[in-house]
């Protein structure tokens, strides 16, 4: 299952005193507060849109030639930082960065130098994360957020306790819009990249997700993007997507299907299935009897692991989730078989700021399992509970671990026997 992008929520804002901050910054007041640019602070988390450096460059050149347009003040608020009252910009980030760039480079036209920037500072009682998001979206109405950007903010507003009806009212959008953008938000991260790179439009991506689901939509769009690139085109259109060739079952896929069906045939409890299912499996496999030898269904004999002098299985089997940029895996499952048909496990995690490592060891209260897959599923259950804790569930490591754990959970158990099935049914 392709990974999805995690959402990291920001800390609550501690508001400060406006007059104290203006005085400390050396600012003054006429119709607006005016503040030296180097006394205004910036945190990208306060802005709903990522900074566009090309736009900053364009505005900086305009300011060098024309000065700063005082009719367009910055939207700011005061935040307590280390006991100090500081002014932070949350609306007009491109104008703010353009002014700093123009001042740094110089070359202003006569009488166009920038020494102060006009600011409108929100009252402390109105400043909270939800209001900053709403203001950032509505104040950008002339340059609307992309559906993906809107989706990220809708999710954040929901996490802050805002109801869908409130979000619809304050943003003047419909419930359908929320449903559409959330479809996009929960799609695989690779599909997000196609949208951000403008290879696929948000509208087309949403239509595909609604029709085919996230994973299949990603597959279709990636194939269409590859075809478009071969044809010298940079974007995928609805027309081109409709003409994309239908996927056929390859030899590799056919072998996988045959192997799965043969595994059903050789399952120790196959004879307890309904007569119709048994007949269907035999009917499907009989014409291909000559191919069955090519697919192994024999039980794999796993090695016996030997503990060290402290009873710890240093040499054991380790299964890892996808490796991160740090070179580490967010979760690991360690498996040991001290004797035939007896399995134990331990887990290691590197999620958020928490790091925990352990290796299997024998003890009076250590649970044992009859098959390797039983031990794996127990480990998956333990790790799933860990990454679903409130402090872990939104981390990037959790997003990497989930598809890995889901895949392990659904794997068949080749060591499961009819006797084990009968015992479990008692």
**Which segments of 61-158 are extended strands (E)?**
74-81, 84-91, 117-121
Whether 95 and 51 have beta carbons less than 8 Å apart is answered as: no
Q: In the prediction, which pLDDT does 27 show?
A: 76
Structure tokens at 376: 């794996």
Q: Residue 281: name the closest of 298, 264, 257 by CA.
A: 264
- Count CB neighbours of 152 within 10 A: 20
Say whether 377 sits in a helix, a strand or coil. helix
Distance between CA atoms of residues 126 and 111, nearest Å: 37
Say whether 186 sits in a helix, a strand or coil. coil
Distance between CA atoms of residues 331 and 179, nearest Å: 32
Per-residue pLDDT of the chain (426 residues; tens, 9 = 90+): 555 555 555 556 777 887 788 788 877 665 578 899 999 999 888 887 788 888 899 889 889 888 998 888 998 999 988 888 999 998 888 999 999 999 999 888 888 899 999 998 888 888 878 888 887 777 754 456 788 888 888 888 887 888 888 888 877 778 888 888 888 888 888 888 888 888 888 888 888 888 888 888 888 888 888 887 877 787 888 877 766 555 566 666 676 777 777 767 666 566 667 767 777 776 776 676 666 554 444 455 788 898 888 888 888 898 888 766 666 788 999 999 998 889 999 999 888 877 888 888 877 667 888 889 889 989 998 898 888 888 888 888 888 888 888 888 877 777 877 677 667 655
pTM of structure: 0.43
Structure tokens at 127: 């400043």
Distance between CA atoms of residues 6 and 324, nearest Å: 14
CATH of domain 18-143: 3.90.1530
Residue spans of the domains in the chain: they are 18-143, 187-242, 251-294, 317-423
Q: In the prediction, which pLDDT does 244 show?
A: 56
Q: Among the residues of 108-163, which ranges form H helices?
A: 129-138, 147-159
Structure tokens at 378: 């127990």
Distance between CA atoms of residues 426 and 415, nearest Å: 19
Q: In the prediction, which pLDDT does 267 show?
A: 66
User: At what angle are helices 164-171 and 175-185 packed, to 10 degrees?
Assistant: 110
Q: In the prediction, which pLDDT does 295 show?
A: 45
Distance between CA atoms of residues 42 and 79, nearest Å: 11
Burial of 177 (0-12, 13-18, 19+ CB in 10 A): middle
- Count CB neighbours of 125 within 10 A: 7
**CA 309, 312, 318: angle at the middle one, nearest 5?**
140
Q: Of all helices (H) and strands (E), which one includes residue 170?
A: helix 164-171
Distance between CA atoms of residues 132 and 93, nearest Å: 13
Q: In the prediction, which pLDDT does 310 show?
A: 82
**CA 83, 88, 91: angle at the middle one, nearest 5?**
160
Q: In the prediction, which pLDDT does 9 show?
A: 54
Whether 63 and 55 have beta carbons less than 8 Å apart is answered as: no
The separation between the first and the last C-alpha atoms of the chain, rounded to the nearest angstrom, is 35
Q: Residue with structure tokens 């081109």?
A: 240
**For residues 37-49, b (16+ Cβ closer than 10 Å) or e, as one string?**
bebbbeeeebbbb
Distance between CA atoms of residues 329 and 396, nearest Å: 12
Q: Residue 217: name the closest of 186, 239, 175 by CA.
A: 186
Q: In the prediction, which pLDDT does 102 show?
A: 92
Distance between CA atoms of residues 312 and 295, nearest Å: 37
């Amino acid at each position: 299952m392709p990974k999805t992008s995690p959402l990291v929520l920001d800390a609550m804002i501690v508001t400060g005193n406006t007059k104290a901050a203006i005085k400390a910054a050396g600012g003054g007041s006429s119709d607006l507060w005016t503040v030296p640019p180097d006394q205004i602070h910036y945190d990208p988390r306060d802005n709903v849109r990522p900074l566009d450096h090309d736009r900053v460059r364009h505005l900086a050149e305009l300011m060098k030639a024309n000065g700063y347009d005082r009719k367009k003040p910055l939207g700011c608020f005061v935040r307590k930082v280390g006991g100090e009252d500081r002014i932070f910009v949350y609306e007009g980030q491109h104008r703010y960065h353009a002014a700093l760039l123009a001042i740094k480079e110089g070359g202003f036209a006569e009488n166009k130098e920038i020494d102060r920037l006009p600011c409108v500072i929100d009252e402390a009682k109105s400043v909270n994360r939800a209001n900053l998001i709403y203001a950032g979206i509505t104040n950008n109405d002339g340059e609307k957020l992309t559906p993906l950007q809107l989706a990220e903010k809708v999710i954040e507003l929901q996490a802050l306790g805002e109801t869908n009806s409130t979000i619809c009212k304050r943003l003047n959008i419909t419930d359908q819009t929320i449903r559409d953008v959330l479809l996009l938000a929960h799609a695989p991260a690779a599909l997000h990249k196609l949208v951000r790179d403008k290879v696929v439009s948000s509208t087309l991506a949403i239509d595909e997700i609604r029709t085919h689901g996230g994973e299949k939509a990603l597959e279709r769009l990636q194939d269409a993007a590859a075809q478009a690139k071969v044809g010298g085109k940079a974007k995928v259109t609805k027309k081109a997507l409709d003409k994309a060739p239908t996927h056929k079952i390859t030899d590799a896929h056919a072998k996988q299907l045959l192997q799965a069906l043969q595994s059903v045939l050789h399952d120790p409890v196959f004879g307890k299935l309904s007569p119709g299912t048994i007949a269907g499996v035999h009917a499907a496999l009989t014409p291909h009897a000559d191919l069955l030898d090519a697919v192994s269904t024999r039980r794999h004999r796993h090695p016996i692991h030997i503990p060290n002098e402290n009873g710890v299985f240093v040499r054991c089997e380790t299964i890892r989730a996808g490796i991160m940029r740090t070179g580490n895996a967010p979760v690991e499952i360690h498996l040991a078989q001290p004797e035939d048909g007896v399995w134990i496990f331990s887990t290691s995690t590197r999620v958020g700021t928490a790091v925990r490592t352990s290796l299997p060891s024998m003890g009076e209260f250590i649970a044992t399992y009859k098959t390797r897959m039983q031990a794996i599923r127990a480990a998956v259950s333990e790790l799933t509970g860990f990454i679903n804790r409130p402090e872990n569930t939104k981390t990037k490591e959790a997003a990497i671990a989930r598809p890995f754990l889901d895949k392990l959970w659904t794997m068949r158990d080749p060591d499961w026997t009819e006797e084990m099935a009968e015992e479990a049914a008692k």
